[in-house]
Every structure is written in structure tokens, then in C-alpha cells.
Structure 1
Amino acid sequence: MRGRTGVLAAVAVLAGSLALSGCDRGGHTDLGLALSTMNNPFFVGIKKGAQAEAAARGLKINITDAQNDPTQQINQMETFTSQNVKAAIINPVDSDAAVPAVGVANRADVPVISIDRGVNGGRVGSTIASDNVAGGRLAARALATSLGGKGKVAFLEGQPGTSAARERGKGFEEGIKAYPGIEVVARQPADFDRTKGMDVMANMRQSHRDITGVFAANDEMALGAAKALGSAAGKGVKVVAFDGTPDGIKAVRGGTLTATVAQQPRLLGKQAVDWAVRASEGERLPRLVKVPVVLVTRENAAEFDH
């Protein structure tokens, strides 16, 4: 009896660890979700949305973290196919570098859905993403309005090679052209990272002390930039961001950030699972599904508290 009790205890520990991880590490798995990173609250939101939708449908989902390494995503796709998933979802580390990972699923005849960022090759059934171009235009208008249509601004770009960075930049550039009194005097990638955002902003301020506005292509970079700006953040220098994470919303409420363009990460995760199931059933899907974004300011920030 003591031996049997020990075995049961070991099984209970293993089951508990699987439940905590949110993954099915072996045996039957219905869906795979390969996230670029979980070291960012936005992608944690996607994870939670996907987990909730999978649970509501009675599906097992294996969610992995590539830690911003595209090679990891190839390995993770190989794991998904070995688990005989019905469909795979990928949030690419890099839109070009994700092509081999998608190829793994293609060769195994596993349908693929991409989320938040597109893939520049392979067979992808559909891409579920926020309307990043529209969001970039919205950010440009918000920044220009806060500056009264005049000033010198800096642009902290996202991770090069990602469709999200490219599209937000495109929207911002298109939007800011409507304000001839505003000049973009500095622009540099900060890889969607808070620490890099702080470092890049500090360097920009050394070269351009007359900056009065900043657009950062995500909340994490904006929060880093605000730290580098110190007491000037939100006052002498207006900072507009993109994502609508809890930390970003809190900074808008506190006045450190002027505004943020809010995505809906949980909705993105939910819809990705929905479209992945449809793909697994052979349904013909639209190439792109755009999820709306909304501007968050101090006036409406309370509505977006998580």
C-alpha cells in the first residue's frame, strides 16, 4: 500500500505541474501556440485569452515561449507536429525567420494561424492581428494634438523584421505628415523592450535636447523612455505609446504617458484559437483578420483597467 500511495502522489505532482504550465507535454494535444516571448505583458494577455478559449471548448493547448529566438520556434513547431496537433498558432519572433517554422507544420499538413505578426512565406491560413497601421495613425494624431501641432519628436521603433513594427511605423509616418509643424528628428529601434527603450531615449536626449514629443511603438519602450525622461515625461515631453498593457494604462492614468493605442490581447488569443479550430476543420479563411484598436487617454483610462 505504501508503494501505491507513493506512485499516486507522484502522479498528482506531475498533473499539478502540467496544470500550472498550461501545456500538455505529451500524449494528446489539440493545439499548439508558439509565442515569441512571455517576458511582455501583451503576450501574456494573448496566452490567457488562448487558454480561456481552449478551456471553454474542451481543448488541450501547448503554449511555448521562444524567448525571442526564432530557432526555438522551429523546434517548438516540431514538438507540435509530433504531438499530432489539429492546428498550430505562431506569433513570430521575426516575420522572415518564422518561415522555416511554418514549413515544419506545412510538411506535416498541420494548418497554421499567425497572431499579432505576419509570416513572410509558407502556407498560413490566416493572420489575426490588431489594425497596426490604423493604430499608428491614431498615435500620430494623439501626439500632434497634445503638442498643438508643433514640435520636434522622436520615434522609438519596434523590433526590426516584425510586421507589427513595420505597420505601426507606416501608420505613424502617414499620420504625422498631416502636421507640417512637427518634425521627426530622431528614430531608432528599441526592440519592443523597456530597458532598451530607456537607453535609446537617453541617447536621443543627448543629441536632441529640444525633443518635445515621443512615439514609442509599444508600451514597454514608452515606459523605458519615460524613465529616461524623468520629470519631463508627460509634461515637457509628451509620450504616446501602443499596446494598452496594464502598466501602460497605469502610466496614462498617472500622466507619465499622454496616451496609448490599446490592443485587445485576450481577444487576439481567443480569436486565434477560434480560427485555428476552423482551419483544422478545413474551412476557407480570410488571409487577414483585423482586431480594432482604441486610443486610451487620461479621460477614459479607467475603462481599460484590468
Structure 2
Amino acid sequence: MKNIRKFCLVGLLTLCSLLCCACGGGSAKRDHTEDPTDTGSGAATQPSVLDMPYIGILLKSLDNPYFDLIKAGAEDEADALGVEVMVFSPDDEDDTDDQADMLLTMANMAVDVIAIAPIDESALADGLARAEKNGKIILSVDTALDYDGCACYIGTDNYNAAYQQGQYAAGLVDEGACAVILRGQAEDRAHTLREYGLEDALHDGGVQVLDTKICNSSEKEAEQAMAELLETQQTLHLVCTTSDSMAVGAQRAIAQAGRSDSIHIVSFDGMQEVSELVRVGEIDAVFAQDAYEIGRECVRTAVRLYQGEEVPETIHTDVELITQGNAQEHMDEVNRRLRHKKTK
């Protein structure tokens, strides 16, 4: 079934490429001059669009509501500016092969700008080189690219945001307490920076990090890893995760072990399921990224670059601490943004 979905999505990307080419799209700026084949009627050819780019966005997985919110922000901003945008992603957040194939396909399409949230940068080398050769403007969102051809990174300052997360978490426990970190994919630069930020902040706060487990942003893997840790770590006081899905799995394992009263959980992302667990007191807090603003800023920056403006190499968006006191307000805002997009 997964191979069928992959075939259909790559086929859809190819179809989009053919349609774009049929409509005269290209990676270079659209020509707004008179038609050179005009025989002298005196009427200038009117441009089909203003000087705006066609933007392709490739995310990690739209099954994750965080990336769905980036998509909503990008599409809302594209609607506001009159820009064409399409958003694709693999089915699973650890599917590096699918993402690499999609990037190669997009690199050959008639898009002007490609914005990508890379799962594993090393797997994207061919696609990035092809996109640059074909004259595409390349941006990264959510996760920075260590690639010379990338014009700008838009997203959270992952190290510093996770350092804030670790500082808050350390304040929940006594000095000398023990913690574990559950993190995403080994190759994912964003999760690595978050891990480093958490480790440094917990160390500075007098908390001992007993172990770090790679759970691939999987709720199931996190639940299993947490269950195994609970069997061997009787002095565990704190769990920090680098994304929400793993916090959900960890919370379930801790509850099943009957240790909810003695172990604190602090998450990172701020999507609805974890925010609800924060509201009811099952998770202590989550540091929420502004995914919607990342999507909006992605489109704004793509337009500026396409029109020849200079932009910073890095554009950081904010994070917000979500606790029991503001969890409902945060969920209402996230749901409003997602519902707004679905009804348009």
C-alpha cells in the first residue's frame, strides 16, 4: 500500500510538472515584454500573472499536525498575495527516500522557488544540486540546510528554544534529579540541535541526563522506549521530548506504569493532542513553535527573493510556553487556523 501511495504522489508531481510546462511556467522570471512574434498590431501582450513566483513546498509529513499548520499558513499567505503554491510531503516523517524522490521531481518542474523541510540532508544531495542547476531558488523551513545554495532558513532557533525548554524542565525538579531525552531521527538537524539545547540547559540546571533515546518522532516507538526505561530507571524524575508525538507515547507508558505523580514531562511543538494533555495536567508544559507563521514567512520570503530583494540568511520565529493556564487558548487558536484553511 505504501508503494502505491508513493507511485501516486510522484505521478501527481509529474502531472503538475507537465501542466505547469503547458501553461508556459519556468524557473526563470516570467517575461513581461511584448511577444516577439507580434506582427505589429500595436497591442502589447498582457502578462498572465504579476511578477510573482510559483512556489513548491516539500515538508516532512502532513500526518503531523505541526506540518499541516505550516501548510495552512503558507496557503493563507499565498492567497493573500496572489501567489501560486503547492505543498507535498512523504507519508511518514522518517521516509527519507520518498522525500528525496519528490525533491528530484520538483527540481524538474516549472516552479521558481523550492522550500524544503529536510528529513535527512545527505539524502537530498542530488535533488538540491538538480534544483540549483535548474535555476530554482532554494529555502529551508523548520530545519536548516547546511547547503551553500540555500538562500534562507525560516523557522525556530532550535538550540535556544530547546535550551529554554530545558531550563523550564529543570525548574520542575530538585537539583541532582535524573532525566531522559526522547528525540527524533538521528539524521534530522533540528532534533539534534534540540537535543543539544536540552542537554546543556539540564546540565546547567543541575539535572543528570541518564539517557537519550532516538524514537524517530514516533508515538509508538516513544511508548516502547519509555516502558523499557521505566523498568531500569527507578530514580527517573523528568522526560523531555524534541517533538509532541513522542511526549504522547511517553505519557501513556508512564501512566500505565503508575508513575505519573513522580515523573514530569515537557514537550516541544505545541500541537492539539499534547496541548490537551497539558490542559488536563497529564503533561507539565510544551514549548510551542509558531508553525503557522513559519508557513506565512516562507511565502513572503520566497516572493522577496524572486523579486530580487535581499533577505537575511536566517529568519527565526517565536516559541511560546504553554502550561495549564493558557493551553485552552492556544488550542483554540491552532484549531481556528486549521478550520479557517479547510473552509476556504
State the TM-score bracket (shorter-chain normalisation): 0.7 to 0.9
Matches within 5 A, 1:47-196: 47-67=71-91, 68-180=94-206, 182-196=207-221
Q: Given that residues 159 and 197 in structure 2 are in contact (C-alpha distance below 8 angstroms), is that contact kept between their aligned partners in structure 1?
A: yes
The worse-fitting range, judged by mean Cα deviation, of 254-263 and 121-130 is 121-130
**Aligned-residue offset at 1:194:** 1.1
Write the distance in 2 (CA, Å) between the matches of 1:38 and 1:275: 22
Which residues of structure 1 form unaligned runs of 5+? 1-20
TM-score (norm 1): 0.87
Q: Does the 8 Å CA contact 1:259/1:296 hold for their aligned counterparts?
A: yes
1:73-99, CA deviations, whole angstroms, 9 ceiling, x for partnerless residues?
A: 333234334431121110111133233
- Deviation, 1:235, is 2.4
Aligned partners of 1:129 and 1:291 also within 8 Å: yes
Paired AA for residue 151 in structure 1:
A
Q: Which whole-Å CA distance do the structure 1 matches of 2:330 and 2:15 have between them? A: 32
Report whether the alignment pairs 1:36 with 2:88.
Answer: no
- CA 128–136 in structure 1, closer or farther in 2 if over 3 Å, else same: same
23, 46, 52: which one aligns with 2:70: 46
Amino acid of the structure 2 residue aligned with 1:224: G
Where has structure 1 moved over 4 Å in runs of 4 or more? 231-234
Aligned 8 A contact 2:254 2:260 in 1: no
Q: Helix, strand or coil: the match of 1:98?
A: helix
Evaluate the alpha carbon distance shift between residue 266 and residue 211 of structure 1 in structure 2; reply closer, same or farther with a 3 A threshold. same
Alpha-carbon contact 1:33-1:63 (below 8 Å) kept: yes
Letter in structure 2 aligned against 1:202: A
Maintained 8 Å contact 1:102/1:122: no
Q: Are 1:285 and 2:276 matched, yes or no?
A: no
Please tell me whether the aligned partners of residues 99 and 122 of structure 1 are also in contact (alpha carbons under 8 angstroms): no
Counterparts of 1:191 and 1:123 in 2: how far apart (Å)?
A: 28
Give the distance between the partners of 2:102 and 2:231, measured in 1 at CA.
Answer: 42
**Worse-superposed segment, 240-249 or 143-152:** 143-152
Distance (Å, rounded) in 1 between the aligned partners of 2:306 and 2:125? 20
- 1:268 corresponds to which letter in structure 2? I
Deviations 1:136-170 (A, max 9, x none): 11111221111133421111122111121111111
1:24-69, Cα deviation, whole Å (9 max, x unpaired): 9332571101111112111111111111111222222121112333
103-112 or 62-71, which deviates more? 62-71
Provide the rounded CA distance (Å) in 2 between the counterparts of 1:269 and 1:147. 36
Alpha-carbon contact 2:154-2:317 (below 8 Å) kept: yes
Amino acid at match of 2:86: N
Aligned mate of 2:295, from 250, 266, 269:
269
| AA in 1 matched with 2:134 | A
Structure showing greater Rg: 2
Shift of 1:243: 0.3
Q: Secondary structure at the match of 1:39?
A: coil
Determine if contact 1:238/1:257 at 8 Å carries over to the other structure: yes
SS at match of 1:146: coil
Deviations 1:185-216 (A, max 9, x none): 12111111111111111111122122111001
Superposed CA RMSD: 2.0
Which residue number in structure 2 is paired with residue 6 of structure 1? none
